[in-house]
Amino acid sequence: MKKIIIILLLSMICTEQEVSSSMIEKISEERGYISSSSEKTKDVYPNIAEVTFTKETTAKTIEAASIENKEVINEIKKELEKYKKEKADTTEISTGAYTANPNYIYKSNKKQLTGYTVTNSITVRTKSTEMLGKMIDSAIKAGADRVNALSFSYENDGTICKDLIYEAAREAENIAQVAANSAKHTIKGVKAIHTGCYTQMNNTTNFRNNYSAKMMSFGANNGAEDAVAEPATSITPGKIKVRATVNAEYYVK
């Protein structure tokens, strides 16, 4: 009886090994495949603009320089806030860098303190790109010395990427099918598909303005009844490229 049980156990072990071996062979069975790739792009106009306005003041004391700078910065903020109220949730205003430095001159080989320079900046990020020229004019009129770091970007909601990936995937499949047919094979399934989509931030910006002339004009026309309105600063952003890629592998037979 014991011999029979031992024989049955050995038989079951051998059977399990055969099944396991068969399964391994099926899993590790190599299948031919073909790779293809496709890229689709679309040029879009930027829908986000960011610009920094800077005010620099110099006085004999740091207190005087700070007070004067604060007054001008508050006036710039006040002017920019008007655009924020005009189109809610499209414009963000934040304080940028702030520095206060002593100024020295060398006289008779001695360093003498002459005063202090305070620099403060305001950064505006807006979706209302069509109002950017007017914002710049208002900030300059309020006392901004410099316009720095003007940049544009594209906030992608995913719609363009989905469309481009769909087009690229269809093209990648067609390319693979043509290649397979030329080798007398047919596609029998997907091994892997890798997709990507990003915004290529290489736009150019045409920014035209004569600040000294415009500020002089603002001063001359201030309070004049027959003042002619200055045209808004001309801002012409370049297009931004949205790029989608698909790299696919297909099983063939």
pLDDT at 8: 46
Structure confidence by residue, pLDDT tens digits, 193-247 = 999 998 876 544 444 444 443 443 444 444 444 444 566 787 878 888 999 999 9
Domain containing residue 253: 30-45+156-203+238-253
Same-domain pairing of 134 and 149: yes
Same-domain pairing of 60 and 120: yes
In a domain, 1, yes or no: no
Same-domain pairing of 60 and 170: no
In a domain, 214, yes or no: yes
List strands edge to edge, sheet with 48-59: 91-107, 110-126, 48-59, 146-153
pLDDT at 30 over 70: no
Same-domain pairing of 136 and 228: yes
Structure confidence by residue, pLDDT tens digits, 47-58 = 899 999 999 999
Same-domain pairing of 122 and 225: yes
Alpha carbon 82 to its chain centroid, in Å, reads 26
Residue ranges with strand state E in the chain: 33-44, 48-59, 91-107, 110-126, 146-153, 187-200, 205-208, 234-237, 240-252
Give the separation between CA 72 and CA 100, rounded to whole angstroms.
16
Is pTM beyond 0.85? Reply is no
Residue for token digits 């399990």? 16
What's the Rg (C-alpha) of the chain?
34
Domain count, the chain: 2
Same-domain pairing of 109 and 211: yes
Per-residue pLDDT band for 105 (boundaries 50, 70, 90) equals very high
Same-domain pairing of 63 and 146: yes
Alpha carbon 120 to its chain centroid, in Å, reads 25
Handedness of CA 249, 169, 39, 201 (dihedral sign): negative
Same-domain pairing of 231 and 142: yes
In a domain, 10, yes or no: no
